[in-house]
Amino acid sequence: MKTAILKSDSASLRRAADLLLSGEVVAIPTETVYGLAALGLNPQAVKKVFTAKGRPPTDPLILHLTSPDLRQAIQAGILKENPPPAAFDLASVFWPGPLTLILPRGPQVPPEVTSGLDTVAVRYPAHPVSQQLLDLVGRPLAAPSANRFGRISPTDAQAVLQELEGKIPLILDGGECPTGVESTVLSLLPPEPTILRPGKITSEDIARVMGRPPGQRSENRAKNHPMPAPGMLESHYAPVTPLYLSQEPLSHRQSDLLFIHYRTPPGVLTSNQLVLSPDGNSATAAKNLYRVLRQADAAHGKAILIEPIPDSNLALALRDRIQRASTGTASWNGSIWKLRRGSKT
Ligand code: TXA
Ligand code: MG
């Protein structure tokens, strides 16, 4: 199959909508990362998403709703009647935006989307291209990140092509994703609201709306969520070149290694030095993270070293992705970088 990349204008949006309505998959920009979209209530279309990504059918997908109004999703049978009241508050504050809510599943959602769970993940994205497409299609779109399973999420059209060339008919090019890391996933199931995947919308943001902070995934993961989210898999978002978390600033260099600095270090940068956030802002670091990891990977060095991520409202999300992408830790022993495998907690 030939994969086309089309700049998102009204003609290409129509083409994408027609492909989707005929049961095909299309890669689309969202404010977080590119998604691989398909008609979310059509089991055959949904299966194509799993096939193109090489994703195991046990990992459920997010449904992108056609409206930020939760009541419409209930009327359409996507969500069960009477969801937890906090869902309405959260949706009205954070949608459109990068918050995914896990709620009891309505009767119209096929088990292929939810991997047989009686819950469903929903969000209404903030990107104008995804919104226009949802309007044109008029039905919810299932869309996981548009990468091969376990690999780095794509944040521009070329990165999607690198991941899925020949496997999908169309990539809608909406430029670079402004947020750069996937949505915060918040379960609203009993016994208590729990963040399953950290993102731009933080625990503090959610606490301001709910009146109390949500639990963190690690506290009650196995108990409440027998089917872990893929974002919870230890190895995820990973480059092919092994990535090591440095315990210290990367002030020493070695020619066979790639160095990812948080901020621009003093002096002239060499070709094996990359920077996440030239302006030191955490939003810039998030926006650049996956592109920089891809760039580092493309250099085919022996290993990639990344500097510690300083505290900020995005630090949890950044550290979570980097930890899952990593193979181990690195430290400078006075003459060379010592690489130790196995940093997973
Ligand atoms: O920002 C995003 O969320 C992007 C864009 C494209 O919207 N999508 C995305 O999808 O990251 P994906 O499939 O890569 O991640 C979805 C996450 C996974 O961790 C999945 O396990 C979790 O949501 N999830 C989906 N349904 C779930 C459910 N019913 N219960 C628990 N976790 C669920
Ligand atoms: Mg993903």
Gap from CA of 256 to ligand 1 centroid (Å): 36
Residues having CB within 6 Å of any atom of ligand 1: 30, 32-33, 35, 59-62, 98, 100, 102, 114, 117, 119-121, 125, 143-145, 182-183, 185, 196-197, 225, 229-231
Residue 90 scores a pLDDT above 80: yes
Question: Quick check: 47 and 61 in contact, CB under 8 A?
Answer: no
164-176, pLDDT tens digit by residue?
Answer: 999 999 999 999 9
Q: Which atom of ligand 1 is nearest to the CA of 146?
A: 6
Residue 228 scores a pLDDT above 80: no
Across the range 118-126, mean pLDDT stands at 98
Residue 191 scores a pLDDT above 60: yes
- pLDDT score recorded for residue 343: 56
**By three-state DSSP, how is residue 298 classified?**
helix
Question: Quick check: 36 and 29 in contact, CB under 8 A?
Answer: no
Question: Given pLDDT bands bounded at 50, 70 and 90, which one contains residue 217?
Answer: confident
Encode burial over 317-341: b for 16+ CB neighbours within 10 A, e otherwise. Answer: bbebbbbbbbbebbebeeeebebee
CA 124 to each of CA 94, 101, 190: distance values in angstroms, whole numbers, following the listed order? 9, 10, 23
Gap from CA of 36 to ligand 2 centroid (Å): 10
CA 82 to each of CA 69, 103, 119, 223, 224: distance values in angstroms, whole numbers, following the listed order? 14, 10, 13, 24, 20
Considering only CA atoms, which of 31, 340, 36, 312 is closest in space to residue 170?
Answer: 36
- pLDDT score recorded for residue 265: 95
Residue with the nearest Cα to atom 22 of ligand 1? 229
267-323, pLDDT tens digit by residue?
Answer: 999 999 999 999 999 999 999 999 999 999 999 999 999 999 999 999 999 999 999
Of 345 and 27, which is predicted with more confidence? 27
Gap from CA of 70 to ligand 1 centroid (Å): 18
Residue 94 scores a pLDDT above 50: yes
- pLDDT score recorded for residue 342: 86
Residue 36 scores a pLDDT above 50: yes
Q: Pocket of ligand 1, candidates 30, 58, 145: which has the most ligand atoms within 8 Å of its Cβ, to mutate?
A: 145
- pLDDT score recorded for residue 283: 98
Residue 219 scores a pLDDT above 50: no
**By three-state DSSP, how is residue 246 classified?**
strand
Residue 179 scores a pLDDT above 60: yes
**Owner of token pair 């059509």:** 42
Across the range 253-262, mean pLDDT stands at 96
Average pLDDT, the chain: 94
User: In the chain, where are the structural domains located?
Assistant: 4-216, 243-341
CA 309 to each of CA 150, 235, 264, 326, 336: distance values in angstroms, whole numbers, following the listed order? 22, 19, 13, 14, 22
38-77, pLDDT tens digit by residue?
Answer: 999 999 999 999 999 999 999 999 999 999 999 999 999 9
Question: Quick check: 164 and 25 in contact, CB under 8 A?
Answer: no
Which CATH superfamily, name and number, covers 4-216? DHBP synthase (3.90.870.10)
Gap from CA of 132 to ligand 2 centroid (Å): 22
- pLDDT score recorded for residue 125: 98
Using CA atoms, how far apart are residues 76 and 71, in angstroms rounded to an integer?
Answer: 9
- pLDDT score recorded for residue 220: 39
Question: Quick check: 109 and 122 in contact, CB under 8 A?
Answer: no
Using CA atoms, how far apart are residues 293 and 302, in angstroms rounded to an integer?
Answer: 14
Residue 202 scores a pLDDT above 60: yes
Count of CB atoms within 10 A of residue 84's CB?
A: 16
Question: Given pLDDT bands bounded at 50, 70 and 90, which one contains residue 233?
Answer: low
Encode burial over 36-46: b for 16+ CB neighbours within 10 A, e otherwise. Answer: bbbbbbbeebb
Residue 26 scores a pLDDT above 80: yes
Q: Pocket of ligand 1, candidates 28, 62, 156, 188: which has the most ligand atoms within 8 Å of its Cβ, to mutate?
A: 62
